[in-house]
Amino acid sequence: MKSLSIKIIGGFIFLFSGALMSQDFQGKAYYQSKTTMDMSNFGNNQMSEQQKKMIAERMKSMLEKTFILSFNRTESIYKEEEKLAAPGAGGGRWGGMMGSFAAGAQYKNVKDQQLIQDQEFFGKQFLIKDSIPQLEWKMESESKQIGQYLCFKATAVKKVDEMDFTNMRRRNRGNQQNESEKSNDTTKSTNLMDEIEVPKEILVTAWYTPQIPVNQGPGEYWGLPGLILEVNSGRTTILCSKIEINPSDKTEIKAPSKGKVVTKTEYDDIVKEKMEEMQEMYGGRGRGSRR
């Protein structure tokens, strides 16, 4: 009965939303994205607490971003809001590595089921072309207000890309005895990449509003009967802070076109190869390389 009442309420909202669906309809949604990352358990034998704190502070600006979603009835462009970098930003090896994954504009076409990501990776420009990821949304009974919009909850289980470093966690190293043995192993690599893993699946919770009846949302998220205003996915929270309907300064929504065209699988293979190269490079500089 609860799901039926949600559908009825949604139907009434759609009736009052006809004005939004004019021929030249366009909207802009501003999102605050924040990813939390626990650095306390990384590199226990290699970094002091002060070093961990310094890296965490420098990475904070990289993990807290503002994005703008420009959308019409079938297409959208999602890109980071341009701003000056904070002085001293970088974070050493970690900051340099993560800064090399510079994501540009992301284009979604829900009618043609197409996603195109403008992606820079270690100085090379790529166009990742693939179909839009499909999530099997479960419509929940809860609702809440986000700003002036009535939102409904939906959940889905998402398979995580193994190259998704926003969901990285410390690898389970086993019991204290094994830890002690490993700490005495002089051949152990000092590459921090050896200490992390990415979960295979995560729960995604989204809040969407039928008051803006477009099949869009931030990033790769879409597929609900209304604009997605909030997403909680693993360690990342994306929250809409402002919406403009039919703004005076409309954005041209078109797919990015510069860069080497690759599929998502091909791009992941390129990233894996580079990571293996870096692991060999930094792994040979540990204590085990000195005789």
CA distances from 10 to 26, 102, 169 (A): 21, 38, 39
pTM confidence score: 0.76
Are 153 and 143 a contacting pair, CB within 8 Å? Answer: yes
Q: Would the CA dihedral through 244, 101, 203, 173 be positive or negative?
A: negative
Q: Tell me: pLDDT of 176 over 90.
A: no
Are 142 and 5 a contacting pair, CB within 8 Å? Answer: no
What tens digit of pLDDT does each residue of 252-285 get? 899 999 999 999 989 988 988 888 887 777 655 5
Residue 73, C-beta contacts closer than 8 angstroms, at least 6 positions apart: 21, 25, 214
What tens digit of pLDDT does each residue of 27-36 get? 999 999 998 8
Q: Tell me: pLDDT of 93 over 80.
A: no
CB-based burial, 277-291: b 16+ in 10 Å, e otherwise: ebeeebbeeeeeeee
